[in-house]
Structure 1
């Protein structure tokens, strides 16, 4: 079998050499070229037609974000971003994932670039995944949110924004007014997830009468930037979850990187987020299975579980358990819109899915189901 061709784009001669050597250690890949900036990288993509590209973000002439958009428009190919592990780097990475990058690898900032050897396993793992993905799915623009029918109820319930105390929990006087929801939506996703979450969350209406809890496989820092980005495009309030936060209708909570997120009952009809540092599940922390399993005792709520694009099977067994415990809806994203049809496939194979839906239809189905029975 012929090795897969890789193009390395980075403005540092030293980093181009290091990255090329790391990739060449795997006989499944060969580096067919290196580029010094985004402009040169775009030209070499057209000329060399590589199977996958590694792309730095900060470069002269044309940076990585600009180059990525041109590549996705003119010559779609799977792209792995090399991102600095900073707040600014995290924000840029989220933009890159929305613009078509398959995934990213954190590149050490500062002068000790040899630390990149520590991420060799991760880089090669993501390269193997990238060559199996659908580059044209990444190239397609994010579909606009569906137009939703007006709410059937003449007087929708207001959604209150709780003032939080110093430890992150809601003020008790406000918590009682916001805890009266009947539905809870839980979403799990991984590779391709930021684009999928953008698509789904942008479709929820204002004053949506349920909270949404989300696990996206991402390291610390990046989940905060993801929450901030999703908050800017959604009618929902979107936050990175903190330990002790009370769940409120109309708010989405993104599990922070490095922590499992569980939902626990906090009184008769109130619920609180509990974050733990317990061992990873299936190699992940946060884990979708951990989140889904924490919902099993909450049978008084109408629970809706969603699994979207991602590698592996995290969340499938948790969804199966939720289905057996009476969850109203279990949705798997259809293969036709998944970047990686792993997590949804695992749930389908366990026969625990009530609906298989393309990405653009997931939000509309959830909104219709929740509002009609609220």
Structure 2
């Protein structure tokens, strides 16, 4: 059986006898996403099945089509995209627009569930259009362009302005075949609709410090390990720029992406955050007022040494991604005990849930993003239920919760 990952589009060759009788789940060989295959799809005999994790929906919701507005200045591309969506019974194209200004008129009139939006367009470009959508009529937006690949500035800008997801337009020049590209696009548009309006928000630029940032002249008293898989770009863009640089705390996150994409995201996030954002490097002494980012292909942990708290980062480019957040949180709990904290943001699967439990059992603090505001609520909903946690709204509210915890601990 050939399975295509909804997160990165990677092909996974899988023997169905490797799947358990009840779970039908596995991790993507490239990005580590936990993918679930429904029993009906497995029994259908189809050669190529696109695996997606689907949140529970009511019977009425599951029968109602997902309405889509296509916004692109190319007549040919709009036709291709419309035909692609029309081939799926769950999607219904209700309108088309050739530029952002027309899109704003149609969104108010048609109220689509999802908008697919190009970046470069006449009259009003895509990034300007997103700002207007988020202010006037918040709607799940999927950026859909040759520019919006992982690691591009346009991608990060679109997500900061409120886009839920980003995709590249179908093309014969991409490494995946067109059928695989279509399946990826359709699944991600459905996910955007499931996320709903609670996950839509315009992230206003934070007041950044000067380019010569400095860290607090104090010891690092707390470390927060942040876990997020599917939807992590938007979740971190909403949180990190809201953190205060004078906080005697550090933040570490291992991201489900390649090292080169994490490099690009680190530079962008550092440019838009008051605190220092840097790549995690092996042997680095952890400093307060700093956020360290690693890739899923880099096993990252925290250890106590004579020099203080130190990062351990081991590159594993040929090894399938492991449960990186569980490993990071477990090491943090061992190193810091009650001064360790775990944060779970939008994600698929269970990575981070066991690690969060170890932090809690060690006397540390745990924070989970409100599932209603996640692009995918699997991880946060499971963690909140398992440990009896009260979910926290993302962005400024989560930053306030972090600050309040640190202040309470000081007193």
TM-score interval, normalised by the smaller of the two chains: 0.7 to 0.9
Assess if the C-alpha contact under 8 Å between 1:5 and 1:31 holds in 2: yes
RMSD: 3.5
Shift of 1:186: 0.9
TM-score of the superposed pair, with normalisation by structure 2 = 0.69
SS at match of 1:214: strand
Instruction: Specify the alignment match of 1:288 in structure 2.
Output: 325
Distance 1:118 1:109 in 2: 11
Q: For 1:213, which of 235, 242, 252 is the aligned residue? A: 252
Instruction: Specify the alignment match of 2:42 in structure 1.
Output: none
Q: For 1:265, which of 285, 288, 303 is the aligned residue? A: 303
Is 1:344 matched with 2:380? yes
TM-score of the superposed pair, with normalisation by structure 1 = 0.75
Assess if the C-alpha contact under 8 Å between 1:189 and 1:216 holds in 2: yes
Deviations 1:261-306 (A, max 9, x none): 4114273334124143432358xxxx43343244344245721001
Shift of 1:65: 0.8
Structure 2: gaps spanning 5 or more residues: 1-62, 208-214
Deviations 1:235-261 (A, max 9, x none): 2110233455443222101223x5244
The alignment covers a number of residue pairs equal to: 337
Moved more, 180-189 or 342-351: 180-189
**CA spacing shift, 1:86–1:28, aligned 2, 3 Å:** closer
Distance 2:66 2:316 in 1: 40
Distance 1:68 1:84 in 2: 17
Is 1:12 matched with 2:12? no
Instruction: Specify the alignment match of 1:174 in structure 2.
Output: none
Instruction: Specify the alignment match of 1:331 in structure 2.
Output: 367
SS at match of 2:223: strand
Instruction: Specify the alignment match of 1:255 in structure 2.
Output: 294
Instruction: Specify the alignment match of 2:320 in structure 1.
Output: 279
Shift of 1:312: 4.2
Query: Equivalent residues in 2 for 1:149-164 (5 A)?
Result: 158=217
**CA spacing shift, 1:314–1:114, aligned 2, 3 Å:** closer
Deviations 1:31-60 (A, max 9, x none): 233333333333333333322111121223
Assess if the C-alpha contact under 8 Å between 1:35 and 1:41 holds in 2: yes
Shift of 1:80: 0.8
Is 1:82 matched with 2:150? no
Distance 1:356 1:307 in 2: 10
Shift of 1:210: 2.7
**CA spacing shift, 1:263–1:123, aligned 2, 3 Å:** same
Deviations 1:187-227 (A, max 9, x none): 12345544443443234333432321024445555433432
Assess if the C-alpha contact under 8 Å between 1:310 and 1:342 holds in 2: yes
SS at match of 1:132: helix
**CA spacing shift, 1:26–1:321, aligned 2, 3 Å:** farther
Distance 1:112 1:334 in 2: 36
Shift of 1:315: 1.9
Assess if the C-alpha contact under 8 Å between 1:83 and 1:90 holds in 2: no
SS at match of 2:182: helix
Distance 2:266 2:169 in 1: 22
Is 1:356 matched with 2:396? no
Distance 2:152 2:107 in 1: 25
SS at match of 1:357: coil
Assess if the C-alpha contact under 8 Å between 1:185 and 1:305 holds in 2: yes
Is 1:302 matched with 2:361? no
Moved more, 340-349 or 35-44: 35-44
**CA spacing shift, 1:14–1:247, aligned 2, 3 Å:** farther
Distance 1:315 1:115 in 2: 33
